[in-house]
Each structure stands twice: as structure tokens, then as C-alpha cells.
Amino acid sequence: MTRLGLIGLGGIMRGTHIPGIRQCPDFTVAAVCDIDPGALARTADELGIPEDRRFLDYRDLLACPDIDAVDIATPNDVHAPIALAAIAAGKPLSCEKPLALTAAAAESVAAAAKAAGLPNMVCFSYRYKSAARFARDIVRRGDIGRVHHVAIQYFQGWGLEDAHCPLVWRFVKARSGSGALGDLGSHAADLVPFVTGLRYRRIVGQCATVVPERPLPEDPLKTGPVDVDDYANYMAEMEGGATCCFQITRLAFGRGNYQRMEIYGSKGALVYTLDADHSGRDTLDLCLGNAMGAGGSYVRVDIPERYHAAQMQSYADVLQGRGDGLAATLDDGAANMRVMDAVLESQRTGRWIDLNA
């Protein structure tokens, strides 16, 4: 049984990680940490964590002898400092995405974990969608031939003016690194190589802020400036000559957590979707032409049970040395940050950016 220390008890920890931990027989939550005393008390009470294992400062949690590993789900600006401190304390770690504010910071985390020999994971959650995992096998075993084109959209709508979202940390560059790009585009930039096995060669992109001011959380009658992108469009050349177009936005009317990835190969094509009907469901449509005797038609496929996976169980497996190799590592998180940095640099310079990844 692995005794976990949870750091950052907000939306994703409470909504996704803790339910996943509850379903995982290999984990027990031993300690919790949040800088917000109310957030700390709420989750600690719910989980029955004793007073001496509730911490306002992550350094105190890391010094606690009763934890074997940590799970970091704070805002982006403190991912790298907490991850480095966890590594220095000899604690294996999972960390939310994007891994850091910059590729340089992400690389330092990955290098430190490697030097310390610590198991690690980055929470690229869509790797656990069964449709994505099935698509990965289909593409990698060559069923759709050589990949020519990928088109991926990740659309949410909560950033629209009418949603009146306050100026939370996601809209502040110093806390988030970037906006829709790092929040949603990081997932998309991870999913494409995860499924296709192709690395990025170079990137060109454009992103912008559309809603320039948002209500202050502490005083909704006042507003403050947004200094991150609301949307990001970028294009990548990949190894083998494939190209990939990304459309990423928080301003997609009527969209909840919508993803669509189309992959066109020399012998077939597939379409992965998520939350297309607001059910949260993932689907896979395949078009294999002659192989299916129905050229040109896309057929919804049943996804075999063996493709079902859970992020927290995957973390437990990584910690116990029995991972399936499909969880994102800190190295993957650093490579992903190089893509994020490249899009921002391309936006600044108007140029293609080589990745040398």
C-alpha cells in the first residue's frame, strides 16, 4: 500500500484525483496540503486525515515520514518548485500539467528526477481515454498506413464573456505560463505523439487574448487585465513528413470539454472524439476502405475492454514498477513544454520554431 501526500486540494484534485485514488486499492491518502486553510480542512475532514498530517506548507508535508509518494495538483507556477522539493526529499511524484511555466524549468525537474532515480508521472489525462489508446494501437500497427495529416481541436466554452469567469490564476501569465495553450493545448500536444508515435520537428503558431479584462475574484464590480491567450492555433511538421493542425480555445460556444482528433493515413483514417454530445464519452470512428469493404465510410467501433485505463491506477502501477509504459513521464512533460514555448515564441516572432526534440 502506497501512502500518498496530496498537494493542492482544488478542482482537479477533488473532482478527479481523489475519486481515482478511492477506486485504487494500492493507495491510501496519508497527508494533505493546501495554502488555503478552508480548502485544507474540507478535504482533510472528508478523508479523515488527522490534524498532524494536514499541512499549509508543502515543505512540511514533504518532511512527514508517513508519506511514500506525492501527487501535485496546484496551479502551474508552483509545479516545478514543489516537484524539485519532492525530488530532493526522495519522494516519487505525479504532477499536473503543464509541467512548469517554461521548458527550461520543466527540463530541470525531469533531470533532477532522473538523477535521483525516482518514479514519476505527468497527468496527461487523455492518455487514459480508451478511444485514444485503441487509436494508438491502430495507428502504430500500421492499419491506416503512413500518417499524412492530423487535425486536432480542443474546445471549451467557459471563457466566453457571458460566462463571467473571474480573473482566476488561469488568466494570469505569472501563475499559468499561458492561457488556453498551456491549459488545453498541452493536452492536445501530448495526445498527438501519444497516438501517432511521431515527434514534432517544427512549429508555427498564433494566439491572442479576446476578453482583455475579467472581474476580480475578491470584488466582481472591478476588473483586472488578462495577460494570457484565450485561444491558440498552431501547426506542426512532424517526423516522416506528417503535418498537424491544432485549434485550441476557451471561447467555443456550446462546448464543454470537446476534443476531436482526425488522423489521415495512406491506407485509412480515424476520428477520435471526446464529449461531442456533452456526455463526457470518448468515441472512435474508423475508415479502412477496402479492408472493411466499405470505402469512404466511417464506422463507429466498439472499444475492447483491454483499452480501459485509469490515471491513478496507472500512477500506482508506475510506483510499483509494473507500469504499462503508457503513462506520461517528466521527460514527456518537458518535451510538451518545449512545444508550448515554441508556440509562444512563434507568436512573438512570426516565425517557424525548430524543436530539435
Sequence-distant (6+) residues with CB within 8 A of 26 are 1, 2, 313, 316, 317, 319, 320
Cell 464543454 belongs to: 256
Residues 110-129 that bind ligand NAD (CB under 6 A): 123, 125
Secondary structure of residue 10 in the 3-state scheme: coil
Contact 42, 9 (CB under 8 A): yes
Residues 74-103 that bind ligand NAD (CB under 6 A): 74-76, 78, 96-97
Among 18, 31, 73, 150, binds ligand NAD (CB under 6 A): 73
Q: Which stretch in 45-53, 73-81, 136-144, 294-302 sits in contact with ligand NAD by CB under 6 A? A: 73-81
Q: Which stretch in 6-14, 222-230, 288-296, 298-306 sits in contact with ligand NAD by CB under 6 A? A: 6-14
Residue nearest to ligand NAD (CB): 10
Calpha distance 261→192 (Å, rounded): 8
Q: How far is CA 217 from the centre of its chain?
A: 25
Nearer to ligand NAD, 10 or 157 (CB): 10
Our finding on whether 166 is near ligand NAD (CB under 6 A) is no
Q: How far is the CB of 136 from ligand NAD (least distance, A)?
A: 18
Nearer to ligand NAD, 176 or 346 (CB): 176
Calpha distance 258→287 (Å, rounded): 22
Q: Which residue type, as a one-letter code, is found at position 209?
A: T
Contact 237, 201 (CB under 8 A): yes
Q: Which stretch in 4-12, 151-159, 265-273, 314-322 sits in contact with ligand NAD by CB under 6 A? A: 4-12
Size of the site for ligand NAD (CB under 6 A): 23
Burial class (CB in 10 A: 0-12, 13-18, 19+), 101: buried
Q: How far is the CB of 296 from ligand NAD (least distance, A)?
A: 35
For ligand NAD, the binding residues (CB under 6 A) are: 7-13, 33-36, 39, 58, 73-76, 78, 96-97, 123, 125, 183
